[in-house]
Structure 1
């Protein structure tokens, strides 16, 4: 399960908001399969989908929604912890601007399985839309912002977004994709390039909603110096995952090496083997956590100490 550990441990999880507010009015989610709720279902040419069994076996009505999980993912649990009944739906599932104009509009999920910070990540040689890259996700966010301005007016829209949470979980696909590339870029060149691309997207988001996110604590601090009102939390998924792997006896998991679906040797398909005690497994498939693992990660991000989220955890983010 080395590959699975890599994907869980290397993901970057960032929560950002502009104005402290105990009640977060909306959540906007960007990223990859760790927080995707079915975006790729709407891409006819995508080969990175999960809208089939055994995915969703523990979701209400055993429905395979497109989440790479037996049930809910980290984004779902964070939404619940912030008081939402459910996490936002995929942007591609929205019916134009109608959902945004609703009085109880609570956010949008832009995340796409297989995507990364770099637009080339997750794409195929055919140039068909296999994933929604981060650049496109940011553009979709700008479309939502424009619709909010048209619906609420500039001042109210900016106030609404300043109190909303922007949640990003991304990065592992870029790093792992480069690692297994035929012509990998040296680490000394690749990581700085990744940070530059991330900062570019940060500034694009700032132009639309005055909200920032970052791959690194240092970058977030630098941006924070530019805008003293910025509040952020940088989640350390490596520190969340590694103790469970190293000392499973201290957790509720009894299997931290094998995948529940496919046993870690096959992808999760309707014909793959399926474990019965899914709440005891850390990994759902080759690359993704189980619902139980996602709940643990979300709860630690929400109330954990500085080993897991810095400079504040996600609950403190809304109250700081």
Structure 2
């Protein structure tokens, strides 16, 4: 097994101690994009795929599961901490029966909040609206499994619902002809997001975590300087500005929904500052490289991690796995902040506090 850095080792020990007890929430439902996809796209006809090595090289058994990572995602690590099994992919044929009572992931690599999310990836990318519809199907099965609406609502109202989308909306916006101003586009995305979160509430979700965007301009693909925004240069400031403005609007939206929706316990989560600091000051967090992709095609590793791509030999020392996604080591740092972070990261309470409400 690869030698863990001191920081990663301490976080792992923290997880193992807390995982020893019973499940801390009845179920975990996930809506997201490639940062949280546990393999849904593997069962879809789409070019947005990670169901091949080197992806999964550090996952148990070295198996490529469809995760856009070398190992565990943030959601995997949170599920382990909650004492729950890894959240299964909705489109996996084995995700049926009593399995769904512990939670389901609808996350799809390439997904957006807006409904045009299949544009760049052939077909069958699952935008948030489709993910919500998939949850409607799961909810109907849960009602049958637990014997009625009341016990189904009891289970769902105590479960954790995590939403983490928006990156693809903005990456696509920056690459488009921009028929809308940044403010108009932001308003459109926020309005759509609010509608979907309201729908989740109507379906029984009460403990809802909504994640902000990270510093999009600091991902390897967007860094300034070389061809196609290659690695090693300064962060792309326009991309970061768009993300910061969206995050402010998203926090206001979540705060307003908490006031307006009876019984809602919504959390706004942001790891923007942590991401930014770790990628620009990696040694502070136990990393050697915070700017470059560990895996990818071409010497600069600008694109996705494909079978013919090159892979760095010190994966636990890199923050980024490929041009878009963090490594497992980075995900451990992020998961720890989500679980126990202060109000600058998780507002008005962190995930551990949300569970205890």
8 Å contact 2:74–2:331 — kept in the other structure? yes
| TM-score, normalised by the number of residues in structure 2 | 0.78
Using CA pairs under 8 Å that are at least 6 residues apart, name the structure with larger relative contact order, 1 or 2: 1
1:32 and 2:39 aligned: no
Which of 295, 298, 301 is the aligned partner of 2:332? 295
Q: Could you list the structure 1 runs, at least 4 aligned residues long, displaced by more than 6 angstroms after superposition.
A: none
Q: Aligned partners of 1:253, 1:184: CA distance in 2, in Å?
A: 40
Superposed displacement of residue 249, structure 1: 2.4
Q: Aligned partners of 2:205, 2:121: CA distance in 1, in Å?
A: 35
SS in 2 for 1:28: strand
Q: Match of 1:5?
A: none
Which of 258, 262, 287 is the aligned partner of 1:224? 258
Spell out the pairing of 1:98-137 with structure 2 (5 A cutoff). Answer: 98-100=97-99, 105-124=101-120, 128-129=123-124, 131-137=125-131
Number of residue pairs aligned between Structure 1 and Structure 2: 293
**Per-residue CA shift, 1:211-258, capped at 9, x if unaligned?**
356562221222211234222222112122011123222111110111
Q: Match of 1:250?
A: 284
Specify every segment of 5 or more residues in structure 1 that has no aligned partner in the other structure, as ranges: 1-21
Q: Aligned partners of 1:96, 1:243: CA distance in 2, in Å?
A: 38
8 Å contact 1:50–1:65 — kept in the other structure? yes
Specify every segment of 5 or more residues in structure 2 that has no aligned partner in the other structure, as ranges: 1-22, 213-249
Q: Aligned partners of 1:205, 1:138: CA distance in 2, in Å?
A: 7
| TM-score, normalised by the number of residues in structure 1 | 0.86
Distance 1:224 1:304, change over 3 A: same
Superposed displacement of residue 266, structure 1: 3.8
Spell out the pairing of 1:301-316 with structure 2 (5 A cutoff). Answer: 301-316=338-353
Q: Match of 2:83?
A: 83
1:270 and 2:269 aligned: no
Superposed displacement of residue 139, structure 1: 0.5
Spell out the pairing of 1:192-211 with structure 2 (5 A cutoff). Answer: 192-211=187-206
Q: Aligned partners of 1:139, 1:69: CA distance in 2, in Å?
A: 27
Q: Match of 1:4?
A: none
Distance 1:210 1:296, change over 3 A: closer
8 Å contact 1:117–1:174 — kept in the other structure? yes
8 Å contact 1:178–1:185 — kept in the other structure? no
8 Å contact 1:121–1:177 — kept in the other structure? no
